[in-house]
């Protein structure tokens, strides 16, 4: 649409130069585009350009699935995973620096995430414009606006005060920087005005798209972290949004034994190919080498071990830190995602890791993770596992958290107990504490991109670990990339950088 507009404006300028004064009848292309985007097919085309940015691919593109983008930035800074430099010389130090909270404004993870989110916002702005101008179906306009709110929410979560615009007719150097509170208010307004307009359809054409229930889950996430973003908690509002999601007919997927599953339980179907819609609220569709990809298991496993299991070599990268791994109960079915100890064939993953950077970890040091056990098609560049952005288990744990924070731990207990029982654990002996909920979120949602945000909200993000001391307060935000500051001299860097 942007190209078409440029062509139309160019034609108008040329005709004006030769003295034509009545040109309205000749601007056919504009009306053709408006008619197209007003149709059901055209509206989906406009939205597809935005959704295309969500799937994970190379060069830091996407929410999750490939490397050096949003997922890595928000996972390796937490306590749940890290890629150490190896004593064999493998892996750059920047992955370990994320875990040690030593990132810099020039790091690729930060720049890639920034570029991805602003490209996504540009595409969302364009879709909103196309759909509004063509008087498209209100649910499709709402979907574009909710997508844009999703990207702005991710931006303020990572960067705080950010450039803000909703009209693409502005150059990068002129985009004003809005406060975190201002963008939060915009996100809340966009969501509360549009979520009810979204489709209620689950699965089918809406697999991987924002329907009403995914929209309310996003709103719940925004409210859940309102205290971090604005200084004013919104626990009651988060709870109300979660309660809307419960009206969508979701339930926890079975955790029963399943002999056909490589990890032994139906639970792991939630991280396989087409994700079950009883629990999955919003997902990323992936078919490796076609659309998106999922690298998480191949990136974790030692090369020859992956070759034995899957037929292609692993990257010998990501490990699970010892302190995080040891929190899991031995009877928890979620512990089956971890590979440690003797795996046969000369592979023995040690739980202990002596160093992340100097001299680094031995080749087989560190617990490995196959939560996303690869599905076909797959190769050395990843697998076709879809990725859950939002699941109903997360909603249940948000309900529990909100109730505890509102002083009603009794009401919270059934929700956390549901999640625990599905995992093969008993119910809590007493009403849950915030620590119980924080730990349960770590068990249930590991490697799904939520941990950094959770750690900040529960005030654990800055605490020391085996490989670093306490972090400074400013590390709760990432720096604005150096490249962005160079492109827009009106931007102010976050304190500490």
Segments making up each domain of the chain, as ranges: 2-38, 296-369
Token match 């160079």: residue? 486
DSSP 332-350: -GGGGGEE-EEEETTEEEB
Residue 18 three-state SS: coil
pLDDT at 30: 55
The token duo for 340 is 């440690």
DSSP reduced 3-state for 15: helix
Chain segment 453-467, per-residue pLDDT in tens:
999 999 999 999 999
Alpha helices (H) in 55-199, listed in sequence order: 70-75, 93-99, 108-133, 138-159, 180-194
Helices (H) and strands (E) in the chain, counts: 19, 8
Per DSSP, 64 falls in state: B
**Residue partners of 74: CB distance under 8 A and separation at least 6:** 158, 449, 451, 452, 453
DSSP state of 363: T
Return the pLDDT at 2: 26
Model confidence pLDDT, tens digit, residues 182-195 = 999 999 999 999 99
For residue range 38-86, what is the model confidence (pLDDT) as tens digits? Answer: 999 999 999 999 999 999 999 999 999 999 999 999 999 999 999 999 9
Cα separation, 437 vs 455, in Å, equals 12
The CA–CA distances, whole Å, from 84 to 72, 94, 104, 367 equal 13, 9, 18, 12
**Tokens representing residue 233 in the block:** 């908690």
For the range 404-411, what are the long-range contacts, defined as Cβ-Cβ under 8 Å and sequence gap of 24 or more? 404/432, 404/433, 404/434, 404/437, 405/233, 405/235, 405/434, 406/235, 406/236, 406/239, 409/433
The predicted pLDDT at position 50 comes to 98
Give the residue ranges of the chain where pLDDT is below 50: 1-28
- The angle subtended at Cα 301 by Cα 295 and Cα 303, nearest 5°, is 105
pLDDT at 35: 87
Cα–Cα separations (whole angstroms), residue 407 to 138, 149, 314 = 39, 30, 47
What is the structure's pLDDT at 29? Answer: 52
Strands 177-178 and 162-163: what pairing? antiparallel
CB atoms within 10 A of CB 312: 15
- Integer angstrom CA distances of residue 294 from 67, 190, 203, 345, 361: 9, 31, 20, 26, 24
Q: pLDDT value at position 456?
A: 99
**237 contact partners, CB below 8 Å, separation of at least 6:** 223, 226
Exposure string of 177-212, with b = 16+ CB inside 10 Å and e = fewer, is bbebbbbbebbbebbeebbebbbeebeeebbbbbbb
């Amino acid at each position: 649409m942007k190209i078409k507009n440029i062509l139309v404006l160019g034609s108008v300028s040329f005709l004006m130069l030769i003295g034509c004064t009545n040109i309205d009848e000749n601007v056919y292309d504009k009306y053709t585009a408006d008619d197209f985007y007003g149709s059901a097919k055209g509206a989906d085309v406009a939205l597809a350009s935005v959704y295309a940015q969500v799937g994970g691919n190379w060069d830091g593109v996407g929410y999750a699935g490939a490397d050096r983008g949003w997922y890595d930035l928000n996972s390796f800074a937490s306590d749940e995973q890290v890629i150490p430099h190896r004593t064999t010389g493998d892996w750059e130090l920047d992955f370990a620096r994320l875990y040690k909270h030593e990132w810099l404004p020039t790091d690729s993870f930060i720049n890639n995430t920034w570029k991805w989110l602003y490209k996504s916002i540009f595409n969302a702005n364009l879709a909103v414009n196309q759909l509004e101008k063509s008087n498209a179906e209100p649910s499709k306009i709402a979907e574009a606006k909710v997508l844009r709110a999703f990207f702005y929410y991710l931006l303020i979560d990572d960067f705080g005060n950010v450039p803000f615009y909703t009209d693409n007719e502005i150059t990068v150097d002129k985009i004003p920087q809005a406060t975190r509170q201002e963008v939060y208010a915009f996100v809340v307004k966009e969501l509360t005005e549009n979520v009810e307009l979204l489709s209620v359809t689950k699965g089918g054409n809406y697999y991987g798209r924002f329907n009403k229930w995914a929209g309310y889950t996003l709103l719940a996430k925004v409210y859940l972290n309102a205290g971090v973003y604005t200084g004013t908690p919104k626990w009651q509002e988060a709870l109300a949004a979660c309660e809307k999601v419960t009206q969508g007919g979701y339930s926890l997927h079975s955790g029963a034994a399943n002999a056909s599953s490589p990890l032994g339980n139906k639970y792991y179907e939630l991280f396989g190919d087409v994700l079950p819609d009883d629990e999955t609220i919003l997902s990323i569709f992936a078919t490796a080498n076609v659309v998106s990809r999922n690298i998480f298991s191949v990136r974790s496993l030692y090369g020859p071990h992956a070759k034995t299991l899957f037929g292609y070599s692993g990257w010998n990268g990501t490990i699970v830190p010892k302190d995080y791994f040891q929190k899991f109960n031995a009877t928890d079915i979620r512990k089956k995602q971890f590979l440690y100890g003797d795996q046969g064939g000369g592979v023995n993953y040690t739980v202990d890791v002596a160093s992340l950077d100097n001299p680094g970890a031995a080749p087989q040091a560190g617990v490995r993770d196959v939560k996303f056990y690869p599905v076909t098609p797959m190769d050395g560049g990843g697998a076709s596992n879809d990725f859950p952005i939002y699941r109903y288990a997360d909603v249940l744990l948000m309900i529990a958290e909100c109730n505890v924070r509102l002083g009603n731990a009794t009401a919270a207990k059934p929700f956390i107990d549901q999640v625990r029982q599905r995992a093969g654990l008993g119910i809590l002996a007493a009403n849950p504490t915030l620590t119980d909920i924080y730990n349960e979120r770590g068990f249930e949602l590991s490697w799904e991109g939520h941990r950094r945000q959770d750690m900040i909200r529960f005030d654990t993000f800055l605490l020391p670990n085996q490989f670093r001391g306490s972090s400074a307060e400013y590390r709760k935000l990432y720096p604005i990339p150096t490249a962005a500051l160079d492109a827009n001299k009106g931007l102010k860097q976050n304190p500490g950088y």
